């Protein structure tokens, strides 16, 4: 059975793209970022292709792409456009293709005047993989994000913690969030396909990903 996830985070710059690249490399998955902002500094699609050695044909072009590094609703407004979630459809893939879709910002980031990133996640019917930092403050941010996902009736398949491993923060998130931390990405000196796959093999629960 194929594995497909929507990678979201507790904050912006939290490590969603590295997590997405790692999962693409480990699962030989297709990468898709439906809404991209901050493209003047480069796209996350290009980053994933580079660090995961992912060929272009294993990626899906963005439905919306904006230059300013701001919230999707504001980026669209500045471009004189509006993000219409009805235009964002699940890509046509084979039944065997794994898919990693990456969100912009966190769970409750607005995409237009009425809808949030959680609305896109619910529309695509993909289970969420929540990326959280491992450092101080993560318990509150992670539990709030978990509550938001569950309130929106989005299935949460696990949490990935990024940063120096912190066993107490991990135990608190699992206990109070009633969720499994399925992987850890410690500080990496090199970001390439080999390092990402090695990190997956060492720090991720392979049973969750059926590999």
3-state secondary structure 137-163: CHHHHHHHHHHHHHHCCCCEEEEEEEC
pLDDT for residue 1 is more than 80: no
Q: What was the pLDDT predicted at 187?
A: 97
Confidence bin at 211 (pLDDT 50/70/90): low
Average pLDDT of the segment spanning 185-192 = 96
Taking only the tens place, the pLDDT of each residue in 91-149 is 999 999 999 999 999 999 999 999 999 999 999 999 999 999 999 999 999 999 999 99
Confidence bin at 192 (pLDDT 50/70/90): very high
> Rounded CA gap, 111 and 149, in Å?
16
> Which helix H or strand E contains 23, and what residues bound it?
helix 16-27
What dotted CATH number matches 4-209?
A: 3.40.50.300
Q: Sign of dihedral through CA atoms 170, 171, 175, 176?
A: negative
Q: Is 206 a catalytic residue?
A: no
Q: Which of 33, 89, 171, 190 is catalytic?
A: 33
For the chain, what is the mean pLDDT?
96
124 with 100: CB under 8 angstroms?
no
Confidence bin at 210 (pLDDT 50/70/90): confident
Domain ranges of the chain: 4-209
Residues 6+ apart with CB under 8 A from 169: 134, 135, 138, 139, 161
Confidence bin at 17 (pLDDT 50/70/90): very high
> Rounded CA gap, 112 and 137, in Å?
28
Backbone angles phi, psi at 65, to 5 degrees: -140, 120
Taking only the tens place, the pLDDT of each residue in 18-71 is 999 999 999 999 999 999 999 998 999 999 999 999 999 999 999 999 999 999
Backbone angles phi, psi at 60, to 5 degrees: -115, 130
């Amino acid at each position: 059975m194929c594995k497909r996830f929507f990678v979201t985070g507790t904050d912006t710059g939290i490590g969603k793209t590295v997590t997405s690249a790692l999962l693409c490399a480990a699962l030989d998955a297709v990468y898709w970022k439906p809404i991209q902002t901050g493209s003047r500094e480069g796209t996350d699609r290009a980053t994933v292709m580079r660090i995961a050695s992912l060929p272009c044909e294993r990626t899906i072009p963005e439905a919306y792409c904006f230059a300013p590094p701001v919230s999707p609703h504001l980026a669209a407004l500045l471009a004189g456009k509006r993000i219409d979630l009805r235009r964002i459809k699940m890509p046509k893939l084979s039944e065997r293709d794994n898919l990693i879709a990456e969100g912009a910002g966190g769970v409750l980031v607005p995409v237009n005047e009425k809808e949030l990133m959680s609305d896109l996640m619910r529309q695509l019917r993909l289970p969420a993989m929540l990326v959280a930092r491992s450092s101080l403050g993560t318990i509150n941010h992670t539990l709030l994000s978990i509550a938001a996902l569950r309130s929106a009736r989005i299935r949460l398949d696990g949490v990935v913690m990024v940063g120096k491993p912190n066993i107490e923060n991990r135990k608190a998130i699992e206990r109070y969030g009633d969720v499994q931390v399925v992987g850890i990405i410690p500080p990496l000196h090199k970001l390439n396909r080999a390092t990402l796959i090695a990190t997956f093999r060492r720090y991720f629960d392979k049973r969750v990903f059926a590999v």
